[in-house]
Structure 1
Amino acid sequence: MSGTTSIAAALNDLLFDRQLDVDSAVTRHFADGYRQRTDGVWSDRTEFAAHITHLRDVLVGGHVEVHDELIVGNRYADRHTVHASKVDGSEIAFEVLVFAELTPDGRFQQIIETTRMVTGGEGDQHLGSAR
């Protein structure tokens, strides 16, 4: 599967590359029928794009640190931490465990993830699924 995306590439485009609009970033890395379960809550591609738009309003920068990544056939798994700065000047970090299915063209078809806040305030606890 040449051209397979990765969580780091997707999140950098979605959250931190403001030269790329949300719809273009989503299309680049996620299939048309994309769906995601974050901490037990399902969302479709439209709801996912709304989540990313919300995060872009809250975050001003950051980076993705990949700890483990595995691709076998159309299956993808990783453990990563998103480190980000918020518009209010505070810092957050979330460790994320991902299990995903890829399309034949290498984009994400489905992601199931669990998030754990490493750094942040009480109000940041649900940023992983906030819209």
Structure 2
Amino acid sequence: MTAIAAALADLLFDRQIDVDTAFARHFTDDYRQRTDGVWSDHAEFVEHITHLRTVIADGSVEVHDELINGDRYADRHTVSARKVDGSEVAFEVLVFAELADDGRFRQIIETTTMLSGSAHDRGLGSAR
């Protein structure tokens, strides 16, 4: 079974793995995500991650709370990142997810709160 910290580390911070491979490892082909009220399908999510890789140099994920019950997953985590321009940003993220039979994410609904960063960084959670 996948977990959010491993998925985000592969998607955002591990440049040894391409986005499509990282996606397939942690998400189903019919994956969809709602971030702060905006829905994305598989292609839009990959576009979002590909964009973030041009903005974020490195970072980390700290999981504060995590609950798994059958095919349901919930967590509260913080993503802290150093951007390619040297500035830093941090978001607290609340996640409710559905897992597929193989343990990968089928759907995530998340709400993000910016903890630090510039006003321009507020939209990073859904930027493409």
Task: Check whether TM > 0.5.
Answer: yes
Unaligned runs of 5+ in 2: none
Aligned partners of 1:125, 1:6: CA distance in 2, in Å?
Answer: 25
Quote the residue 2:25 is aligned against. Answer: 28
Structure 2 counterpart of 1:74: 71
- CA distance in structure 2 between the partners assigned to 1:84 and 1:65 by the alignment: 11
RMSD over aligned CA atoms reads 0.3
Secondary structure (helix, strand or coil) at the match of 1:95 reads strand
2 CA distance for matches of 1:116 and 1:49? 21
- TM-score, normalized by length of structure 1? 0.97
CA distance in 1, matches of 2:94, 2:68: 14
Partner of residue 115, structure 2: 118
Q: How much does 1:32 deviate?
A: 0.6
Q: CA deviation at 1:130?
A: 0.2
- Of all paired residues, the percent bearing the same amino acid is 73
Query: Matched residue pairs, number?
Result: 128
Q: How far, CA to CA, are the matches of 2:3 and 2:121 in structure 1?
A: 25
Distance 2:91 2:110 in 1: 12
Q: Which runs of 4+ in 1 moved over 3 A?
A: none
Aligned to 2:85: 88
2:125 aligns to what SS in structure 1? coil
The AA in structure 1 aligned to 2:58 is G
